Amino acid sequence: MARRSVQLMYAALNYMQEVIGIVEKQKKKTIQMPHTYVIIFAVVVLCAVLTYLIPVGSFQTQEVSYMVGDTEKTRTVIVADSFAYELDEAGNRVRSGVPIFGTEDFGGQGMLNYVFEGLTSGDKTGSAVGIVAFILVIGGAFGIVMRTGAVDAGIHAMIRKTKGREIILIPVLFTLFSLGGAVFGMGEEAIPFAMVIVPLTIAMGYDAVVAVCVTYVATQIGFATSWMNPFGLAIAQGIAGVPVLSGAGFRIVMWIVFTAAGVIFTMLYARKIKRDPTSSVAYESDAYYRGQMAQSDAASAPFTLGQGLVLLTILVTIIWTVWGVVVEGYYIPEIASQFFVMGLAAGIIGCIFHLNGMRASDIASSFQSGAADLVGAALVVGMAQGIVIVLGGTDPTTPSVMNTILYTLGNLLSGVPGVLAAWLMYVFQSLFNFVVVSGSGQAALTMPIMAPLADLAGITRQVAVLAYQLGDGLTNLIVPTSGCLLGVLGVARLEWGKWAKFQIKMQGMLFVLSTIFVVVAVMIGFA
């Protein structure tokens, strides 16, 4: 029965591949993508130029209250009609061009300060400094786990069990991670999972891109189509004056459609890589994992009790993390510490059972090397945050180019027909997510403007929330300013430029689906 099911799955995939024309001829010559650091620097320079061209402005803010279940929440939001340009003594609009180099005493942060200022921005609960610390701790913890050899042994055991049926894992994992994004806003949590799944997919004949898809991509599709996400949907609805967590039926249908589309897209890509691994954008970077597996004797070695206990430790940590996030509201500091505990426990087990000849000193050295492997990803997170700093930050009360861009784009949406207005809201939210990646932050900045504009355009505020939801969540898959995305790509040893080369096709599919759902929502009066 199982073999028959697999045959039917392959037949269906073959048919769909022919229908939608995805089969491509292998390209022997590819365009060399610039390094991620180069791309970010180019964006920083562009943003610096904009500060000389665009006048700065600011908003007034106010506290709003909304209910999530029986709990009253408050949020600081901007006052929709309060934008004002900063004026000099002569009444002219002020342009505060960012200096090439600056100090806190003279001129503030300059363009070339973007790396340090980006790395040290925010706090431990979010933004750059928290995510950087999170990435390094997670990297160190999994460095210990990988040193035990238990993951390699588990991967080879799974390969032996699923021989010929490996593709079944893709829809299973994708659906589970999509549910995680939909139910409790899973995002940063995908980073440690990717550290296990990347070598698994490569060992099965796929690549790191497939691993990123079934983990991070899946979480963000779930996040963007969620009917109960407390970190994005609930906040946006509360600010917009829409009953919190309303419209669940429409969004559940949307989640099913988007998740199914993501699964199919990933499976088609996986089949292509299975047939020709050299066609992968990650083929060169995957050599690191292929080399590790070639040097490992896990494929022929028996699976031991100690290795099983290490894998059990990982499973217990995953359950502990899910419980902590859902029940106790754990976030970056707690999750990082949970995985540190996991790494320490795995190291102790490795020493007791002498896994790969481990000793106590190997726990420390493995933690160090694991963290070192992700230093590049951590630096990228800080650099990306530097883009926002160059534009003046995200404080709506402080005059900045960022505020002016928000105000200008919001004005472009006024006075247009309902369907077009809703679609433009979606496009606007997608673009704005480039500079404000935080879902709750984007909701606080944009919804006070989008909600009244929805009234003027004759569409429901629920549609405005939907436009925010889709625009914010789905572009998290490609914007180089997303610390979470860059963290996952760092784990996968995949440069952003190469990832974007793959992801642009998926973005096209998601854009079309989003447009359809936004239009349908307007036509049915989604409320």
- Among 98, 113, 128, residue at a domain's last position: 113
Tokens of 300: 């022929």
Structural domain includes residue 17: no
Domain of 484 in residue numbering reads as: 34-50+118-523
Q: Could you tell me the two tokens for 123?
A: 């706090």
Note whether residue 3 is domain-resident: no
**Would residue 290 count as lying in a domain?**
yes
Taking Cα atoms as reference points, which of 117, 141, 122, 114 lies closest to residue 373? Answer: 141
Cα gap 335→291, rounded to integer Å? 31
Mean pLDDT per 10-residue interval, the chain, length 527 residues: 47 49 44 74 91 94 75 78 91 91 72 89 77 88 90 76 80 91 81 87 92 95 89 82 87 97 96 93 89 65 87 90 80 88 95 93 94 84 83 87 85 82 94 83 84 85 95 92 88 91 95 97 94
Strand pairing category for 57-58 and 84-85: antiparallel
Do residues 414 and 453 make contact, with C-beta atoms less than 8 angstroms apart?
Answer: yes
Separation CA 449–CA 229 (nearest Å): 22
CA separation, residue 386 to residues 129, 469, 484 (Å): 12, 25, 15
Are residue 240 and residue 183 in the same domain, yes or no?
yes
Contact 75, 235 (CB under 8 A): yes
Largest CA distance in the chain: 81
Amino acid at 28: K
- 107 and 189: one domain? no
What is the Cβ-side half-sphere exposure of residue 450, based on CA atoms within 13 angstroms?
35
The reply to whether 365 and 505 lie within a common domain is yes
DSSP string, 296-326: --TTTSPPPHHHHHHHHHHHHHHHHHHHIII
DSSP 30-77: ---PPPHHHHHHHHHHHHHHHHHHS--EE--EEEEEEEETTEEEEEEE
Do 67 and 130 belong to one domain?
A: no
Q: List 75's β-bridge partners, or say none.
A: 64
Token reading at 60: 């007034």
Domain shared by 382 and 286, yes or no:
yes
Please give the pLDDT value at position 15: 47
Q: Please indicate, yes or no, whether residues 59 and 145 belong to a single structural domain of this protein.
A: no
Shared domain for 513 and 478, answered yes or no, is: yes
Place of tokens 């969540």: 473
Residue 177 near residue 222, CB atoms below 8 Å: yes
Number of domains in the chain: 2
> Tokens in use for 207?
């690549």
Which of the listed residues 84, 113, 142 is the one where a domain comes to its end? 113
| Residues 127 and 188 reside in one and the same domain | yes
Is 60 among the domain residues?
yes
- CA–CA separation, 154 vs 280, rounded Å? 25
Same domain, 217 and 206: yes
For the chain, give me the number of helices (H) and strands (E)?
22, 4
Same domain, 144 and 89: no
67, 87, 113 - which closes a domain? 113
183 plus 263 within the same structural domain? yes
- Would 281 be classed as within a structural domain? yes
Q: Kindly state whether residue 14 falls inside one of the protein's structural domains.
A: no
3-class DSSP assignment, residue 121: coil
pLDDT in the model for residue 296: 62
Whole-angstrom distance, CA of residue 506 vs CA of residue 276: 20
Report the residue count for the chain. Answer: 527
> Hey, is 87 helix, strand or coil?
strand
* Closest to 55 measured CA to CA, from 389, 403, 449: 403
For residue 208, tell me if it sits in a domain. Answer: yes
Q: Which residues have CB under 8 Å from 73's CB, separation 6+?
A: 65, 66, 67, 234, 235, 238
CA 409 to CA 70: how far, in whole Å?
36
**Residue 68: strand pairing partners:** 71
Inside any domain, residue 484? yes
Please check whether residues 220 and 309 belong to one and the same domain.
yes
